[in-house]
Amino acid sequence: MSRSYFFRSLLLIAVLAIGFISCAPTELDNSEEKGAGVPQQQEYTIEIKQMKFIPAEITVHKGDKITFVNHDLVTHDITDDPGKTWTSSALPADESWSMTVTQSSNYYCTLHPTMKGKISVE
């Protein structure tokens, strides 16, 4: 084996090794899903059944989406309590309504004020 051939081989191995090392952490990051970048929007469903919001209390992150589905035979609504700063308006049977959460809220149904729920933003 000549001296130059030996060094060329060594160089080739070094290049391959550097390539492998620089690739490896990227693959690790992808598999771990660190969530360090832009937060993903989570989607939640709150079902309205037998005059209740299910679940009645939910904890989400700002920007998450909540879809309310009315499984009852009667019309309900979902309205901020007590300020009424937002509302679904009337939600007939089998209809759904979605909102993007911006802040913690208590809410209720203006048609059946005993129906209450709570959204907490953590």
Q: Which residues of 3-33 are buried (b: 16+ CB within 10 A; e: fewer)?
A: eeeeeeeeeeeeeeeeeeeeeeeeeeeeeee
Q: Which stretch binds Cu ion (CB under 5 A): 4-12, 15-23, 33-41, 72-80?
A: 72-80
Size of the site for Cu ion (CB under 5 A): 5
- Sole binder of Cu ion in the list 46, 53, 64, 76 (CB under 5 A): 76
Comparing CB distances to Cu ion, the nearer of 10 and 111 is 111
The span from the CA of 77 to the CA of 87, in Å, is 7
Binding site for Cu ion (CB under 5 A): 76, 109, 111-112, 115
